[in-house]
């Protein structure tokens, strides 16, 4: 009775969990907590930058970063959704997503050059949320592979990650509702420390994210080699596919640099994951195809609540371009006036 399904699935591994379900759940909690910490600290940093800008002093109350009504239930829903999605993600597809993001980061750095320390890095931090969660789960799976007490270790890691995510969300709620008042009155220790050292949050986040992806790259490379490249003849098939996907990533990056807005970001997500979907349909299992579809939902859960962050980065980029253009026009007028005199 099950012969047609066996013929369709072939000899592939059709399992929803590639690991122990309990270990996968704990890894999903760690990945979701890492995304939550990054998301909340990015909002704290952008809100501090908004409040420190003298031009937006009168718009503090209407700023989207200062809206504490985002709600604990929305944050809890996002956290639970990411926990479930990352728990269902297999290490094979998670490793490919991590390596794909590292390739995208290199292409962004190569295309933007010196401008990567501005808008490019901010956009990468916004886009790397789900890839960071995949990197954390992939690293934990690699480190605890074959460990005798992996469930206990992952439980402790999940508990610590939960505490960090709760602390970051509490900090964001406090800053969004009370920072404009406490920064002027100067009687809150949290707000005073943020007032003096809040500008270093972005640099600290960048260093931590780079370290996390460096560890995840090692784990992902080993996982991809063990699952896809363990035979020599497979390299003849993987090499042209890898080159084609690399060209696709560079094309998407160049197209995103030409366009602005959230439409370009969403189009890049669809094209990247669509390329991985075609790749998994070619060389992967049917379970890998399902995990790619789960990755689509994970990217949506991460990027849809980040639209205000994206708009703030794009608005800052527009203001920077306007400042540069006005400065250039002033220099031109000065040169023309000096030449006429």
Q: Which two tokens stand for residue 107?
A: 């292409």
Query: What pLDDT does residue 149 have?
Result: 80
Q: How far apart are CA 316 and CA 124, in angstroms?
A: 15
Look-up: residue for tokens 């109350």? 61
Q: How many helices (H) and strands (E) does the chain have?
A: 13, 0
User: What is the value of pTM for the model shown?
Assistant: 0.83
Query: What pLDDT does residue 2 have?
Result: 33
Q: Which two tokens stand for residue 4?
A: 């047609």
Query: What pLDDT does residue 76 have?
Result: 86
Q: How far apart are CA 250 and CA 263, in angstroms?
A: 18
Assess contact for 292 and 273: CB atoms under 8 A: yes
- C-alpha distances (whole Å) from 319 to each of 46, 55, 59, 82, 326 are 15, 11, 16, 34, 10
Q: How far apart are CA 24 and CA 191, in angstroms?
A: 37
Query: What pLDDT does residue 185 have?
Result: 73
Question: What are the pLDDT tens digits along the chain (341 aa)?
Answer: 333 333 333 344 444 555 688 889 999 999 999 999 999 999 998 888 877 764 444 444 444 454 544 557 788 889 999 999 999 988 888 998 998 888 888 877 776 654 444 556 778 888 899 999 999 999 999 988 877 888 899 999 999 999 999 999 999 988 888 877 777 777 787 888 888 888 888 889 999 999 999 999 999 988 888 877 666 666 666 677 777 777 777 777 666 666 655 666 777 788 778 878 887 887 778 888 899 999 999 998 998 888 888 877 777 766 665 555 555 555 656 666 665 55
Closest CA to 35 of 134, 106, 105, 104: 134
Query: What pLDDT does residue 13 have?
Result: 46
Look-up: residue for tokens 């890691």? 157
Query: What pLDDT does residue 215 have?
Result: 94
Q: Where are the domains of the chain?
A: 16-335
If phi > 0 it is left, if psi is from -120 to 50 it is alpha, else beta; for residue 259 that is beta
Query: What pLDDT does residue 63 have?
Result: 47
């Amino acid at each position: 009775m099950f012969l047609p399904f066996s013929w369709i699935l072939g000899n592939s591994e059709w399992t929803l969990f590639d690991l122990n379900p309990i270990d996968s759940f704990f890894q999903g909690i760690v990945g979701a907590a890492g995304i939550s910490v990054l998301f909340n600290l990015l909002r704290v940093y952008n809100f501090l930058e908004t409040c420190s800008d003298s031009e937006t002093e009168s718009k503090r109350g209407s700023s989207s970063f200062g809206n504490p009504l985002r709600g604990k239930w929305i944050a809890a829903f996002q956290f639970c959704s990411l926990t479930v999605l990352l728990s269902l993600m297999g290490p094979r597809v998670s490793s490919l997503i991590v390596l794909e993001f590292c390739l995208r980061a290199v292409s962004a750095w190569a295309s933007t050059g010196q401008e990567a320390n501005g808008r490019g890095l901010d956009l990468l931090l916004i886009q790397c949320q789900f890839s960071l969660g995949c990197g954390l789960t992939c690293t934990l799976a690699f480190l605890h592979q074959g460990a005798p007490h992996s469930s206990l270790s992952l439980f402790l890691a999940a508990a610590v990650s939960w505490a960090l995510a709760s602390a970051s969300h509490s900090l964001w709620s406090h800053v969004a509702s009370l920072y404009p008042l406490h920064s002027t009155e100067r009687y809150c220790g949290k707000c005073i420390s943020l007032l003096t050292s809040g500008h270093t949050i972005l640099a600290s986040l960048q260093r931590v994210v780079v370290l996390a992806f460096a560890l995840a790259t090692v784990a992902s490379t080993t996982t991809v080699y063990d699952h896809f490249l363990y035979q020599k003849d497979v390299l003849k098939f993987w090499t042209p596919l890898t080159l084609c996907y690399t060209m696709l990533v560079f094309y998407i990056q160049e197209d995103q640099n030409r366009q602005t807005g959230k439409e370009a970001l969403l189009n890049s997500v669809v094209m990247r994951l669509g390329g991985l979907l075609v790749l998994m349909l070619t060389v992967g299992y049917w379970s890998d195809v399902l995990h790619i579809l789960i990755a689509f939902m994970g990217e949506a859960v991460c990027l849809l609540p980040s639209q205000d962050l994206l708009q703030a980065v794009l608005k800052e980029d527009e203001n920077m371009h306007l400042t540069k253009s006005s400065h250039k026009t002033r220099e031109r007028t000065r040169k023309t006036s000096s030449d006429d005199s």
